Amino acid sequence: MSVPYTIGTPGYVPASQKIPPIALPLVSPRAKVFLDKIERFVEEECVPADEVYEQALGRDVQSRFSSHPQIIEDLKKRAKELGLWNLFLPKNHYQGTGADFTNLEYGLMAEYLGRSHIASEACNCAAPDTGNMEVFAKYGTEEQKRRWLEPLLAGEIRSAFCMTEPHIASSDATNIELAIRREGNDYILNGEKWWSSGAGDLRCTVYLVLGKTDPQNANKYKQQTLVAVPSNTPGVTVKRMMQVLGYDDAPRGHGHIVFNNVRVPVSNVILGEGRGFEVIQGRLGPGRIHHAMRCVGVAERALEWFIARLVDPRKKTFGKRLVDHGVLLERVAQSRIDIDAARLAVLNAAVKVDMGDTKSALKEIAEVKVQVPAVLLDTLHRAMQAYGAAGMSQDTPLARMYGRNRTKKIVDGPDEVHMQQLGKTECRTRGDQMLEKITAQRRKTDELLKQYGMEKIDVLQLDRAYHHAAKL
């Protein structure tokens, strides 16, 4: 049975017709076709499967991290049939495999993928695999590509990226301490990582681990090295899984991993010793845009749940449907405004990345990194509040969406760090220039006053002679 109110149903406006007008000239007809296919796949097949997937994991903690529900494999098969596979890949990717969409185009698609918990994985477009595949394709050796990139591209294995550490303030990445010591043709790793997302997954067979090979290097951006570590290497222990507001995000989860004399061959290095920072910076760009667009999709879905509640005839209070309470309408409107603006900001950042290198788009990327999660969490709060206690429970997807996204204000660097950076950049690049412009404009005003025969008077300047006359 097909889910009504998706493409083909009377009255339903398909995704391709909801593209913001300003973006339209940059979206190819082929991308529009894919966009509509994705919307339909997500709304009709993935969203309904979300709860099935969750149910299949069961209630027992141990089982939740040892499960691999069949439905995700069936969805992957279906996505491949539909051609909705590896859509994030740029044109010139490994062996010409790229789906060849621009970041703008894939961004539009990512919004729909974001609406379902499992759609991204179904289309092999889930983080952190996407970024890791880009790393392997861009910097990997032939051997690394064969061993990890190919099965990743095929959706057979998964991967994790291990960067954050428990004992330091990781929002400053130069603080990381995991030691990578060379011994002959091997590296020996010692240290701990946490918030390694995806590390709980049975199929997660490779970790990209950032550590320090040269902690004394005067250049603190040359101390780090990235190495690929098979997850079954002796000495690797997933000590525990981190919770986020009570959620475990099983079966992938966020691992706290101990590396105890973990030995890998030197050939597992990515790009080269001391070049870890270079790799992680090359990895960051488009991923954040995809992240942000998925968040826009979550927000849009939250708003849909919000308005569905307001018109629900069974939910009347004080004789009125919720839609007749002005306070809630104002919140719908605020979310509508916020989400529409956030989407445009992300798409604009995507276009900037498409136009050149990611570096020139750093400002735009940082802006949406902060803006989008704020919009999303606000919208979720409003929607949850409309549902009452049900909105915080397992009976709507809202609470889980909140749990999954509250961390967005932290991951890839806390908002606060990005804000300071944005503020500093703005002041550093333009502050003096603006001070000089304003000064020059004031000078010009003085010239004009002279030219027009006016003295600069203050609007309220007073003759205070009376003071001298006043008697005390």
- In the shown chain, the binding pattern of residues 196 to 235 toward its own copies, with x for contact by CB under 8 A and - for none, equals ----x-x--xx-----------------------xxx-x-
Q: How far is the CB of 96 from its own copies (least distance, A)?
A: 26
- Say which amino acid occupies 205: T
Could you say whether residue 112 binds its own copies (CB under 8 A)?
no
- Work out which of 124, 196, 348, 379 binds its own copies, going by CB under 8 A: 348
Could you say whether residue 141 binds its own copies (CB under 8 A)?
no
Output the six-digit token pair for 305: 């749940």
Task: Decide: helix, strand or coil at residue 415.
Answer: helix
The smaller minimum CB distance to its own copies, of residues 4 and 83, is found at 4
The smaller minimum CB distance to its own copies, of residues 266 and 438, is found at 438
Output the six-digit token pair for 100: 């060849």
Could you say whether residue 167 binds its own copies (CB under 8 A)?
yes
211 and 178 in contact (C-beta within 8 Å)?
yes
- Work out which of 157, 163, 229, 376 binds its own copies, going by CB under 8 A: 157
Could you say whether residue 29 binds its own copies (CB under 8 A)?
no
The smaller minimum CB distance to its own copies, of residues 114 and 253, is found at 253
Return the range that interacts with its own copies (CB under 8 A); candidates 117-125, 129-137, 267-275, 322-330. Answer: 322-330
The smaller minimum CB distance to its own copies, of residues 157 and 279, is found at 157
Strand partners, 373: none
Q: Which of residues 275-304 bind its own copies (CB under 8 A)?
A: 303-304
Q: How many CB atoms lie within 10 A of CB 30?
A: 11
The count of chain residues that interact with its own copies, using the rule CB under 8 A, is: 178
- In the shown chain, the binding pattern of residues 44 to 73 toward its own copies, with x for contact by CB under 8 A and - for none, equals x--xxxxxx-xxx--xxxx--xx---xx--
- Work out which of 246, 272, 279, 292 binds its own copies, going by CB under 8 A: 246
SS3 of the chain: helix, strand, coil, percent, to 5: 55, 15, 30
Return the range that interacts with its own copies (CB under 8 A); candidates 118-126, 178-186, 221-229, 317-325. Answer: 317-325
Could you say whether residue 383 binds its own copies (CB under 8 A)?
no
The smaller minimum CB distance to its own copies, of residues 273 and 310, is found at 310
What is the b/e burial string over 407-439, where b = at least 16 CB atoms within 10 angstroms of the residue's CB? Answer: bbbbbbbebebbeeebeeeeeeeeeeeeeeeee
Q: Under 8 Å CB-to-CB from 332, ≥6 apart: which residues?
A: 303, 306, 307, 310, 382
Return the range that interacts with its own copies (CB under 8 A); candidates 31-39, 79-87, 118-126, 457-465. Answer: 457-465
Q: What are phi and psi of 179, to 5 degrees?
A: -90, 130
116 and 47 in contact (C-beta within 8 Å)?
yes
Strand partners, 320: 317
Beta strands in 177-277 (DSSP E): 179-183, 186-197, 204-212, 224-230, 236-242, 254-265
The smaller minimum CB distance to its own copies, of residues 273 and 351, is found at 351
The smaller minimum CB distance to its own copies, of residues 249 and 273, is found at 249
68 and 118 in contact (C-beta within 8 Å)?
no
Q: Give the DSSP H or E segment for 159.
A: strand 158-162
The smaller minimum CB distance to its own copies, of residues 68 and 91, is found at 68
Q: How many CB atoms lie within 10 A of CB 278?
A: 17
Q: Which of residues 417-456 bind its own copies (CB under 8 A)?
A: 417-424, 426-427, 430-438, 440-445, 447-449, 452, 454, 456
Return the range that interacts with its own copies (CB under 8 A); candidates 90-98, 129-137, 240-248, 274-282. Answer: 240-248
- Say which amino acid occupies 334: Q
The smaller minimum CB distance to its own copies, of residues 7 and 182, is found at 7
